[in-house]
Structures are given as C-alpha cells and as structure tokens.
Amino acid sequence: MRTSNQQFIDGEWVNSTSQETIEVINPATESVMGTIAKGTQEDVNKAVEAAKKAYIDFRQTPTKERQDMLNRIVEEYKKRKTDIIEAITEELGSPRELSETTHYMKGLIHFSEARDALDDFAFKEKRGDSLIVKEGIGVTGLVTPWNFPTNQTSVKLAAAFAAGSPVILKPSVETPFAAIILAEVIQASGVPKGVFNLVNGRGSVIGDALSSHPDVRMMSFTGSESAGSKIMRNSSQDFKRVSLELGGKSPYIILDDVDVDKAAKSATKFVYDNSGQVCDAATRTLIPESIKDEFIEKAKQNMESVRVGNPNEKNMDIGPLVSRQQFNAVQGYIKKGIDEGATLITGGLGKPEGLERGYYVKPTIFSDVDNDMTIAKEEIFGPVMSIITYSTLDEAIDIANDTNFGLCGYVMGENRENVQKVANALEAGSIVINENAGTPDLPFGGYKHSGIGREWGDYGIEEFLEVKALKGYYAW
C-alpha cells in the first residue's frame, strides 16, 4: 500500500487543508494500491503564492544555473529508476519492460533534452540598437493525464525550468505515484523552494482553481478535449496563455508498394502499444483496395499474437486499461463498431480468456470501416484498429484529413514522390515516415482539436517564455 497524503508546497511536504484522501486503484488487480491527498482550492492558493515569490529570482537565474539544476534532476532521476518503473507498472498496468523502455526513458529524455537545448538557446538577441530578451512567463499550472505518467509531467517540467518559470503540477488521480517520486527527485536536486509545487486532487477542483487564479499566467494542459476546453474557458477570463495537448485519431496511410508483412506489423503495433492509450496512436489504418485481403490476414495474425496479461510477468505486450471507466468506454466503442456495421476481424467485446480480474480488453480489428462511423471519428483510447480502404492516393489523403483531430499522421511506402506527397498533405503536427521516430528535439503538438502549441526540446521551452523588446538599449 502506498500512502502519500501530502502536497509539496514551497519546498516542503505539507498536509492538505482537506485532510481527506483519494484511493488509487491497481488496474491489474482492481484493488486499492494507495491513497493520495484530496487537494483543495486553498492548497492551490498556497502553492501559487509560493511560486509567485520564487518567480522573482528564478526568472533571472543565469542560464548555466538552470542548466546545472536540470542536470542534477537527471542524475537524481536515474537513482530512482527502479521506483519509477515499479510505480508505473502498478498504477498504469503497463508491462514492466514498457515501464522501463518507454515510460522511465521518456522522463529521462525530456530533462536531458531541455538541459542540452540550453547550450545554444538564444534568450537574448541584439537588433540594431535594441535588445530582445526572452524570460520565463511566470507561475504556470501544469495539468497532466495518466497514459504516460512520466512523459507528460517531465516534458512540461523540463521546459518550464529551462525557461525560468515556476510551476504547480497537478497529475492525474489515476497515476499520481510516478509524479510523487518525481517531486522527491526534484526536492533532492535542490530546486529553489517555490519553483516546483505538487498539488494532488480532483481535476475539476484543482484544475479550476489553477485556471481561475489571477496570479497564474499560463496553463499547460494535456488530456481530453472537454477538460482542455474548460481550462481554456477559465483562462480566457484574465487572458492566461494556454498550451493544450489533446486527443487524436491519427491516420496511417499504407501505400500500394509496401512489404505487406512489414506494414501490417507496424500498423498493429502503432494501435496496441500501451494498450492503445496513446494520443498519437495510428487508429485509422488506410489501405489500398489492391492489398486489402492480404493486409487484413496479416494484421489479424499480428493482433492475435499480442500477449495480454499481468504487467509483472515477463514478455507481456500489453497490460490492462487504466481504469474501469476506460474499460467501459472501450467496450462501448467496440459495441458501436459492431452496431454500425463494421466487420469484426478479431477481438471484440469482453475480456480475453483467463483474465476476468483486471481491466483487460481484447486487441481488436474492424475492417470495412467508413470514415463517418463513430469508431473512425472518435478517439477510443484502447487497442482498436479501424481499417478503411481507398482506391486513389488523393482519396486516401482526403479521408485522412477528414477529422477534427490533427495530432499525427503516418505513411509507409517505397515511392519517394508518393510518400512525400502524403507527408506534405496531411494536416497534423507530426508525420511519421516509414516508422522513423525522429529525435526528441522535434516539436510535438497538434492541429485542429488536437491542441494549441508545441512541446519537446527548444519549441517546448519557447511556450514558457515571454518576449520583451528593450528599445534603444544600446543607443547611449
């Protein structure tokens, strides 16, 4: 049992004014695995006050000092490797190997990347007789989801620290323990008091308190469209800057000259990874008529070979979904797919055999999906692939862009001209070409309903900066 019922405010662990707690459930066992503080508006007020005080000095720290601070965080983070992996395996239900290779690593990458980005980040620019400076925007509220417990938190923290902005972090109630370990990492790294504050609690309470607070200058949110929209509405009252990383329904355009075996493997992996709880999952698979039967057969084989089970057992591909609510939502979508007339190729309703306890779902494929069906339009956030066939490349591009989302697009093919045509035409913030994952310094974020702004590397740091023009600074 993990009990971590305090908030981290102004450099120390303190009781929440509520004295109440929230239970956290292990999704693989459906049992209570721990409790966290049920934070209040008063907790938020205290954290904002601490961050506001810290801002005055923090924004003026020399870049090298912030770089050293990020480096100390990197070193302390590495010391907590086993704890982080264990916490994420337990709270998210992610298989141990994935907790290490993806979840643990992503946190490490973001802190190291921000540290390295400061090597040549231009905070000052001389223009004529004047000077342009960029400085931390000020107190920022960070609200994060459960699907990548260290990735989503670290990417924001690293960028804010690099920029010189103090923060109040509110992680998801489903996966708070990785964030609590991160708070301990930050505390051990000697981050000045008030620069980092952690307030656990319900989204509606803490999110509202932060986004309505007059001393908060920016909200950086990752999560659902509905909560993002609420944050934006609140923030509009006093013109806070808003950075939003929201959902997706990313298309994977498979061209007709691919190695079908390779394409099917790639397409299924980009659907089931992390149990499908991935904002840029490639859940709409667009294949040419000419390879339909062969592709479906191979995708079916691949999906049926996905090992679903206890995240603590070796060699599992996926564990359960994060919560009962998520399980019910995914079941609802599978039912809609069947009801609206898509062809169920594999998977379907119910739990995989032998996995009655835990929020496990069957990796599922639908074919003959029309882009107007619910399973093609809405984010499912579970391991469910929707196969849509096309006859011309232009038709594929039209279908791919016919969505409210624009987080990511994927293309696989041999013909360079066609691959580049697709990559240029897709309306999305990232395009993955022939499985190339790129590097962590590339910007990440969405078009349309997928969000506002960019994270990762130097683009992420820019989000947390204000720009000041000092006119005639050198003119006398």
408 is catalytic: no
**CB atoms inside a 10 Å sphere around CB 65:** 13
Considering the candidates 76, 91, 174, 279, report the single residue annotated as catalytic: 279
Give CA separation, 263 vs 257, 300, 426, in Å: 10, 12, 19
Token pair of 282 as six digits: 């490639």
- How far is 220 from 233, CA to CA, in rounded Å? 13
279 is catalytic: yes
| Residue 139 near residue 211 (C-beta atoms within 8 A) | no
| Residue 413 near residue 257 (C-beta atoms within 8 A) | yes
One residue of 37, 48, 157, 227 binding ligand NAD per CB under 6 A: 227
**Element holding 433 (H helix, E strand):** strand 430-433
Closest CA to 153 of 136, 176, 174: 176
How many residues bind ligand NAD (CB under 6 A)? The answer is 30
| Residue 164 near residue 63 (C-beta atoms within 8 A) | no
One residue of 146, 270, 295, 390 binding ligand NAD per CB under 6 A: 146
232 or 260, CB closer to ligand NAD?
Answer: 232
One residue of 87, 169, 246, 461 binding ligand NAD per CB under 6 A: 246
Considering the candidates 76, 245, 455, 463, report the single residue annotated as catalytic: 245
Closest CA to 225 of 336, 378, 334, 333: 378
263 or 318, CB closer to ligand NAD?
Answer: 318
Q: Does 451 bind ligand NAD (CB under 6 A)?
A: yes
Q: Does 222 bind ligand NAD (CB under 6 A)?
A: yes
Which of the ranges 39-47, 221-229, 300-308, 332-340 carries the binding residues for ligand NAD, by CB under 6 A? Answer: 221-229
**β-bridge pairing 140-143 and 167-170:** parallel
11 or 457, CB closer to ligand NAD?
Answer: 457
Q: Which of residues 356-415 bind ligand NAD (CB under 6 A)?
A: 379, 381, 407
- Between CA 243 and CA 249, with CA 244 as vertex, the angle to 5 degrees is 150
223 or 288, CB closer to ligand NAD?
Answer: 223
175 or 367, CB closer to ligand NAD?
Answer: 175
State the sign of the Cα–Cα–Cα–Cα dihedral 93, 94, 99, 102: negative
4 or 152, CB closer to ligand NAD?
Answer: 152
Continuous H helices in 80-104: 81-92, 96-98
One residue of 28, 143, 169, 428 binding ligand NAD per CB under 6 A: 143
Closest CA to 281 of 381, 138, 181, 176: 381
Which of the ranges 41-49, 132-140, 239-247, 297-305 carries the binding residues for ligand NAD, by CB under 6 A? Answer: 239-247
Which of the ranges 79-87, 107-115, 166-174, 364-372 carries the binding residues for ligand NAD, by CB under 6 A? Answer: 166-174
| Binding site residues, ligand NAD, CB under 6 A | 143-147, 152, 170, 172-173, 203-204, 207-208, 222-224, 227, 230-231, 245-248, 279, 379, 381, 407, 446, 450-451
Residues designated catalytic: 245, 279
